Amino acid sequence: MDTRAQIREAFKGVAKPTADRDIAPHECGECRKIVKDFKPYTFDRLPDQVVADHKGSLPLLGPAALHHYLPAYMLYALDHPESDVMMYTVFQLTPSKKNIEDTKTYFDQRFGVFSEAQRRAIGAFLKDVRDYQLYDSHEQEFERAAELWPLDA
């Protein structure tokens, strides 16, 4: 199964968040825009332009929204490796050990919800990015990725 199909299959049953605060839990203008732009869509119908416009918004999504919409970012990044979406998606999936230790609850809430199939799909995404040199690692992202995700599954 190719990586795109693996991502779609692994995440197809993830419920779309419907409450505004589940999509973006903060009360600010940027989060209100995220809610407005994301709420009408499931991850497999999220327009490319919405992903591109919100290239750096993954950290602002609530855990349920990250779980649901992350595949849209991975798919977009694979299709547009030169985009900033690629960089921001890789960054989101490869936090430093120090960041994880300093904010353990935050990362447990965000990454702890992924099933084994979803973890393998994330690993396949990062493996493709690394192996096909779709992104130039500057901060040991792929070394960190190997500690968090099954890159060779």
115 close to 153: Cβ distance less than 8 angstroms: no
Rounded Cα gap, residues 3 and 31, in angstroms: 30
**Residue 16 binned pLDDT confidence (cut-offs 50, 70, 90):** very high
pTM of the model: 0.95
* Residue 153 belongs to a domain: no
The beta strand positions in the chain, using DSSP E, are: none
Residue entry with tokens 């792929």? 142
> In which domain, by residue range, is 122 found?
3-148
Query: For the segment 64-100, what is each residue's pLDDT rounded down to a tens digit?
Result: 999 999 999 999 999 999 999 999 999 999 998 898 8
Token code pair at residue 69: 């919409």
Q: How many domains does one find in the chain?
A: 1
